[in-house]
Amino acid sequence: MTRLCPLHLLLIAAAAASASGADEAHVSIAVAEKGLAFAKDVLISEAVRSLTPLRLPGVEKAVRVPFLGGIRVAASNITLFHLDVGDNSTIFPGDSGLLVVASGITANISMHWSYCYDSWLFPIEITDSGTASILVQGMEVGITMVIKNKNGSLALSVSQCGCYVKDLVISLDGGASWFYQGFINAFEDHIKAAVEKAVPENIIEGAGKLDSFLQGLPRTISLDDVAAFNLTFINDPHYGNSSIEFDINGLITSAVAETANLQKHPQLSLACGGASKMLLLSLDEDVFNSALEVHFKIVSASGVVDASGNKVYGRVGLDNFSLALKWSKIGNFHMSLIQGVIRVLLNTVCMPYLNSRLGNGLILPVVHGFTLQDVYVLTSAEQLTLCSDVTFNASSMASLL
């Protein structure tokens, strides 16, 4: 449990009478170098899953030889059924996008081949057919993705995508395959071109599905019947040399009212107590203050929170409380007595209620299919920072795309 002592709990007493003015408060999520590498691996694994199997267009070639007849050679059912990316992949944050390059890729392709020879010298047509296995070597794929803020959601687009095939080896099976190897090798350029064209097209199509998924993410997450977590993205992502940072409104608002925040958040430091983590998530003080305001405004409408999913748990305590009289039209009051009564009210009613809420957890803005792992918590006078690794459930993501 993390004790949020630095928060100014005096806002609890004033929350019922005044609205939060913290228009600069929101959540920052920084994806560090380790997190970018994890995201790259997830993107590549999803790309491989969507690319296999990949049907490529067939080809047929015919040659007429004077006095001898004609030869027709065809390749059909050309299917790329396996991709092996290996460890030769990198991700580079740029000024306005992410460049992912995978090199040294090998692929396996299957196809059906057929051969036909006819001549006026012989009334019988000679045919043969079989299968072939193709090994693609030295394939390289590069993609540049641009992430922008679009009306409070993330929009992803592909600015560049290309594929290069260095070499491929065709091995025939069935029939008199040794005799036709030379004819089939004539299809090498066609198969290379087909792979180099089809792979980028399918990657771009998959990026479009990912864009739809990102823009379809909810703007708010209900914490209970009373409060909701504002997940509106603020500004475009900030790209660093080895990281990318996202700013989120992050305030806790009433479930029936929304709070707008369009202020820029200062850049989040990637320091995490010396730990190497994938993700850094910073919750400013006003995020918790907004939660106090919402719950204490309509405490009678509170319900039971579902304690499941990615949540952060905490406990607060009252360190100090003071009360001063600014003015009065009916004379002076014994402020020490009033202060004592309010202190008892805070300790016996407000703090237990607030801790019951925090004990059930605060939902973190984590995409479905991903789970925080080995969370490391840092606290300061202004914010709560969580450093975490991330695990990925491919089946959960596949059901959403």
Burial environment of residue 308 by CB neighbours within 10 A (0 to 12, 13 to 18, 19 or more)? exposed
* Per-block mean pLDDT, blocks of 10 residues, the chain (401 long): 34 34 60 90 90 92 75 91 90 88 95 85 80 93 93 92 93 73 80 95 93 86 75 87 87 59 45 65 66 48 35 70 71 74 79 74 64 69 70 60 55
Q: In which residue are the tokens 């692929």 written?
A: 107
pLDDT score at 241: 85
Count of other CB atoms within 10 angstroms of residue 118: 15
Angstrom distance (rounded) from CA 386 to CA 78: 49
Q: At a CB cut-off of 8 Å and minimum separation 6, what does 201 contact?
A: none
Closest CA to 148 of 210, 237, 240: 237
pLDDT score at 351: 76
Angstrom distance (rounded) from CA 305 to CA 297: 18
pTM summary value: 0.68
pLDDT score at 91: 92
Tell me the helices (H) and strands (E) count for the chain, helix number first: 8, 21
pLDDT score at 260: 38
Angstrom distance (rounded) from CA 13 to CA 11: 5
Angstrom distance (rounded) from CA 211 to CA 200: 16
Dihedral pair phi/psi, residue 330, rounded to 5°: -120, 15
Assign 3-class secondary structure to 159-220: EEEEEECCEEEEEEECCCHHHHHHHHHHHHHHHHHHHHHHHHHHHHHHHHHHHHHHHCCCCE
> What are 220-253's pLDDT values in tens digits?
877 767 677 788 888 889 888 888 998 888 787 7
Beta strand segments in 35-182, E:
54-56, 59-65, 69-84, 89-93, 98-119, 122-150, 153-164, 167-173
The partner residues of 115 in beta bridges, in order of sequence, read 73, 128
Domains and CATH numbers, the chain: 2-31+243-400 (no CATH), 38-215 (3.15.10.10)
